[in-house]
Amino acid sequence: MKVGDLVQYIRDMPHSYAEFQTGVRQNDIGLITDALENGTTVRVKWLKNNDEHWMGKNHLEVINGRKETKSS
């Protein structure tokens, strides 16, 4: 996960009070706008309400990552 990746929230219930406060729901989509140096937390801008919040990476899944393809 890196800045600029499109991510999806994958938990069916908010994991913490902070996630509950943001109103994030399963399958919500956001854009990573910043990351902490420790590599475990990212700042996500949610597309549904344009809010930005810090979240742990373990509850997010990258949905636009580049994939390797075989060249002919």
* pLDDT at residue 72, as a whole number: 47
In a domain, 67, yes or no: no
* pLDDT at residue 26, as a whole number: 84
Complete DSSP assignment for 12-63: SS-SSHHHHHHT--TT-EEEEEEE-TTSSEEEEEETTT--EEEEEGGGEEES
In a domain, 47, yes or no: yes
In a domain, 22, yes or no: yes
> What's the domain range around 15?
6-62
**pTM reported for the whole predicted model:** 0.74
Instruction: CATH number of the domain at 26, please.
Output: 2.30.30
* pLDDT at residue 6, as a whole number: 92
- pLDDT, tens digit, 9 for 90 and up, residues 25-46: 888 899 999 999 888 899 999 8
Q: How many domains does the chain have?
A: 1
